[in-house]
Amino acid sequence: MSSDALQFALDTAQRAVEIAASAGASAAEATVAITHRYHVEARESTIARLERSTARTLHVRAFAEGRKALLSTSDLSASGMHDAIAATVAQAKHVAVDEFAALPESFAKNGIDLRLYDAALVDRDGDARVEDALELERLIRAQDSRIVNSSGSHYQDAESFTAIANTAGFSGAYTSTRASRSTGPVALDGEVKRTAHYGSAGRRLADLEDLPSIAREAARRATDLFGARKPPTGKFPVIFERDVAATILDDLFSAVSAANAANGNSWLIGRAGTKVGSDAVTIVDDGSMPEKLGSSPFDGEGVATQRTPVFERGVLKTFLYDTYYARKLGATSTGNSNGSGIGTGNFYLQPGSDSLEQLIAATRRGVLVLDTIGFATEHASGTYSRGARGFFIENGELAYPVDEFTIAGMYAEMLAGIDAVGSDLRFDAAVVSPSFRVAEMTVSGN
């Protein structure tokens, strides 16, 4: 069944390219994605949502003598594809010439298996999927009597078939799966409702944390902040727990995107080859890692994915490129096209050797950040500011929970100030990080 779907996706992509060529395109590329999704959400003892869906999409890039037009459609019928692609080629002839718009010069080799597919996940019984959500909801409520509600307990999975073909002779296809379990308990702290979220995701069912572990961690995150108050205002060491640390890396990815660099929207412009972070900062993008959520055998243009050191011991080595911005900036694609722009592979900070507990113990007075609120990153200047929740640290121990405070700084100073990196890296998303400590940041509390 899966092999039939993959062959259909590849045949459809090749047929789309043939239609574009016959309509007068000088070059063309077609991507077909077919995804079967399953999602169940439980609230209390009932199913609040049960969804099963199939999405089919075709994306075409048609080139006509230096001009480019794009098509996105879910109509994969022969007549629908023919009419839409012919119209797209005709439109391409009327847009402005762009000297950088063209297919890549080199492509991935076929036959690369990154083990992105789990048959056990696909064959899983529907009742077992439903029971995951129901059991997770039961477990979080059983953890603590102060947990009175939830924002929902979820089980999701997906089976995907991706194919690319172009007029340069490249064609490739691969299958992939992913699954996740997550929950959001709500605990009552007097008249204050404390919310938390925790989950686990992976390519294979076996990669997921078990239900009791997820429930325990989610409940702990909700109840640990009982009695929270504002911390003192001042400049302190700040430890970012791994999930929050990943959001900082997500913002950093925007700064190392060549698209933002080319458009003047990155604080890292002009800093390639210079030392920006501390020696503890080695950040890698690698879309070729087996079994990981950010992996694929080729990117959205058919270019081979690869391991790219972005920072090495604090030195910015490179931006991340697709073919278009590589040409525009005189570089080489790093295999980071997502089909419509620049995306991540597996983008992560290389872990250190200390546990989060050891980072806390080595901090005389500071703040552990467990959650951030709001969005206040200015990518052009590199300004960072967030509302936060967590713990105040005194004498290397968690002294008391804190909330309703702000942490702020400049990204350049934050990277330069990273003086300790944890060992708790977990590949449960495309952008991940271990916990790390910044030697000093501004904390605005009382």
The structural domains of the chain, ordered by start, are 2-223 (3.30.2290.10), 228-446 (no CATH)
Q: Which of 283, 248, 255 is nearest to 270 (CA)?
A: 255
**How many CB atoms are closer than 10 A to CB 56?**
17
CB 85 within 8 A of CB 58: no
Q: Considering only the C-alpha atoms of the chain, give the largest distance between any 2 of them, rounded to a whole number of Å.
A: 73
Please report the pLDDT score of residue 374 as a whole number. Answer: 76
Among residues 244, 264, 259, 256, which one has the least CA distance to residue 284?
Answer: 256
Please give the helix or strand (H or E) that residue 192 lies within, else none.
strand 192-195
Tokens, residue 134: 């129901």
- The SS3 of residue 218 is helix
Query: Any idea what the Cα angle at residue 375 is, between residues 335 and 316, rounded to 5°?
Result: 40
pLDDT tens across the length of the chain (446 residues): 578 999 999 999 999 999 999 999 999 999 999 999 999 999 988 999 999 999 999 999 999 988 999 999 999 999 999 999 999 999 998 999 999 999 999 999 987 899 999 999 999 999 999 999 999 999 999 999 999 999 999 999 999 999 999 999 999 999 999 999 999 999 999 888 999 999 999 999 999 999 999 999 999 999 999 999 999 999 999 999 999 999 999 999 999 999 999 999 999 999 999 999 999 999 999 999 999 999 999 999 999 999 999 999 999 999 999 999 999 999 999 999 999 899 999 999 999 999 999 999 999 999 999 999 876 677 788 999 999 999 999 999 999 999 999 999 999 999 999 999 999 999 999 999 999 999 999 999 88
Say what the pLDDT of residue 93 is.
86
Return all residues near 3 (Cβ < 8 A) that are at least 6 apart: none
Contact 369, 388 (CB under 8 A): yes
Token pair belonging to 56: 């089919």
Q: What is the CA radius of gyration of the chain?
A: 24
- pLDDT on residue 3: 82
The Cα–Cα gap between 413 and 310 comes to 18
Q: Which residues in 133-164 are b (16+ Cβ under 10 Å) and which e?
A: bbbbbebbbebbebbebbebbbbbbbbbbbbb
